[in-house]
Amino acid sequence: MDMTIGKFAATGKVGVETIRFYQRKGLLRTPKRLEGGRRYGSEDVRRLLFIKQAQSAGFTLEEIRELLHLDASDDRERAREAARARLAALNERIAELNKAREALERLIGECASGKKGPCPILASFGL
Partner DNA sequence: ATACGCTCCGTACCATGGTACGGAGTCAAG
Partner DNA sequence: CTTGACTCCGTACCATGGTACGGAGCGTAT
Helix residue ranges per DSSP H, the chain: 5-11, 16-24, 42-56, 61-72, 76-112, 121-124
Closest listed residue to residue 44, CA positions, set 73, 10, 78, 77? 10
Integer Cα distance of 116 and 127 in angstroms:
20
The pattern of x and - marking residues 39 through 58 that bind DNA according to CB under 7 A reads ----------------x---
If binding is defined by CB under 8 A, does position 103 make contact with a second copy?
yes
Q: Considering only 2-10, 41-49, 73-81, 93-101, which stretch makes contact with DNA by CB under 7 A?
A: 2-10
123 C-beta neighbours (distance < 10 Å), count: 13
Integer Cα distance of 107 and 126 in angstroms:
11
Q: By CB under 8 A, name the one of 6, 15, 57, 60 that touches a second copy.
A: 57
Q: Considering only 30-38, 82-90, 92-100, 105-113, which stretch makes contact with DNA by CB under 7 A?
A: 30-38
Assign 20 to helix, strand or coil.
helix
The pattern of x and - marking residues 77 through 96 that bind a second copy according to CB under 8 A reads --xx--xx-xx--xx-xx-x
48 C-beta neighbours (distance < 10 Å), count: 22
If binding is defined by CB under 7 A, does position 28 make contact with DNA?
no
Residues that bind a second copy (CB under 8 A): 46-47, 49-50, 53-54, 56-58, 67-68, 70-76, 79-80, 83-84, 86-87, 90-91, 93-94, 96-101, 103-105, 107-108, 111-112, 116-122, 125-127
